Every structure is written in structure tokens, then in C-alpha cells.
Structure 1
């Protein structure tokens, strides 16, 4: 199960805040709740008003929604699954994004490849779903931080640095291919169709590795 360390959450928060242009002040418990949970995509679309019983599976993701719509629908799915920690995390995230009215098209983030009439369960990691949507939001709405994002973290202190600043803009958002049937007629799990674009849950260890190597002169 994926997890987010306390020091890593201190980096993840500023990254997503920078991509949104608004402060995302979630706790390490909130990040871990998202990193360790999956969201049922068909349940998510049903919560957003899509009739998954009659819709073409390849078209049901073609829906415009705000980040708040996505987060609230995800919270409803999590509540139905009894995942209280994820519900609390998503409810906390809904507060800072409530005023972001621009929409994204979910089909730009997720392609669902199921046969007509199929209602197979497809799941995507909650942090990848929400993080990917935030990256897509930044990309489609050309949101660039006008002020540097400050990073203050224990890893910087190891090198005698009190803090650092970064500017962020997404130049290529992730995209997930979900479905398609294996030989056993079991739907394939969601996977990135551009393997060089990493989901948000992979950013943190990568950022630490690159930052550590840079600061140590490696």
C-alpha cells in the first residue's frame, strides 16, 4: 500500500498548491488516506450524474466537471465504501478548491475501454486521480504560480539550507487507460498510456532523489 511520509507531505502540499494557485493545507493523514485508497471510476461517474447502465463505456468519461465536482463525487464513493479516512481527506480538500470554477473534461484524464454493456469495476488510486486532475486543471487553464512556492523541509536542513522556492506549470498532464479485457475476460487495471509521465504518487520519492543528488553535488 502506498504511503506518504511526514516530510514528503511537506513537499506534496506546496506542489499541488502551486499547480492550483491556492493553498492546499492537508495533513499527512489526509495524504496517506488518498495514497492508500482506490476510487471506483464507474461509481464516481454515477455520482456525477452519468447513467453508467445505458452509456457507452467508451464515452461516459466525456464529462465536464470542476475539481470540486470530482472531489465531492469521489467522497461520496468513499463514503459508500465506508472509507472514513478518505472521506475526511476529500472533504478537507474541497474547502480550498471550492472557488475554482473552471472545468476539466474527465476524458482528457481517463479513457475507459470496456465492451458495450459492461459494468466491470475499474479502480484508480485516489491520489493519482485527484493529483492527475489537478495537473490537468493546471494544463488546461494555464494556471502558473505568479509567486514562487516556498519549500521548508527537513531534507533541506540536512544540507544546511533553510528553504527553497519553485515555480510550477504542467506541460504534459498524465492520462490513464482503464479497462480493455485480458484473455480471461477480466478488465485490465488502470495504467498510464504515457509511461514517462508519472502519477502524483510517484513524484515525492523522485523529487527527494533529484533534490538530494543536486544538493550533494551528485
Structure 2
């Protein structure tokens, strides 16, 4: 190698090093893009529907799952809270653990409902009736919904939505957090007034 000068060496090595670093960067960039493309974004809202659920009243997608929790099998009435969890995609939500907290007027302790959902595919939603005998005749508010879930590549996410009453207004705050190995990263954060709306064309 004594016949190769420093100048000659770097003329040969520089393109090789540049190509190697570029390939390595492209590899990690492509790998990251695959992870991003397989992430999932949940969305929740409350429906007020009869109990038991009446398919002739509210139009649902084919094969929609309703998870039976609380006192759903024992309570009957014209209206109950159904939490609808929708996966906006683009990937699937896997191994979802849902915890719902309900505050009842005149009651010191909150009610909690826990549901395990194996998978929520893109554009799919599940219905979770928030029903307990103690809620009968009381004003109730879903104050917190937490969802721990994974993506298809094993990334762990945490979704949290809280509702608080301030001056007779409902303030909603939403967070979506990526539970990274070294540092949690906030993907989405929102806070604002929870305005009233209706679901159009709900009747068949």
C-alpha cells in the first residue's frame, strides 16, 4: 500500500464511503416509513342509543362488534351510553386494552369499565356499552377513556381522552403517545370545547 498516496486513497475511498452512508440512511429511512405507514389512529365518540342495542334504529357496518360489559345483559331502557372506538388507520390496532371511566352525579366513586379487543382493523369500529345498574336515574359523564394498543410491527401506543366540566362547558383533551424504548413521543395533542352534534342518517 506504500505506493498509494493519501490523495489517491481518498479519491478511491470517498465514493465508497459516500455510497455506504447513503445506502444506510436510505435503509433506515425506508424502515421508518414502513413503521409510519402501519401506525393507527383511534377516534372515540359517545352514542346514546336504546338498550339492548336495536339494529333497526342505528345503522352499523356489517360485522360490527358490540362488546358486552358491565350490566348490559341486565339493564333495559330507552337510552344508554355506547362508546364507539374507530380506527382511522392507516394500519391496524392490535391487542387493544380499553379503560373507560364514568362519573355519576351525586356519587363519590367513579365507575370503570375494562375491555380487551384483539384487533380493530382500518376503518373498523367497535361499540362498547357503558352500562351499570348504579347509573339508573343519574346524570353520567364519560370523563376518561384510555386505550393501550400495538401496531402490526409491535410499536406501542397510548391514547387518552379526558372530558372536564368548566363553567357548564365540556372541555375535551386528547393525546396520542408513542411509547418508545428510550423516550415517549407525543404524536397528537388537542384541547377544546366538546361541541354538541348529531349523527345524521342513523335510522334505516
- TM (normalized to structure 1)? 0.25
* Structure number having the greater helix percentage: 1
| Structure with bigger RCO (C-alpha 8 Å, 6+ apart) | 1
* Structure number having the greater strand percentage: 2
Bigger Rg, structure 1 or 2: 2
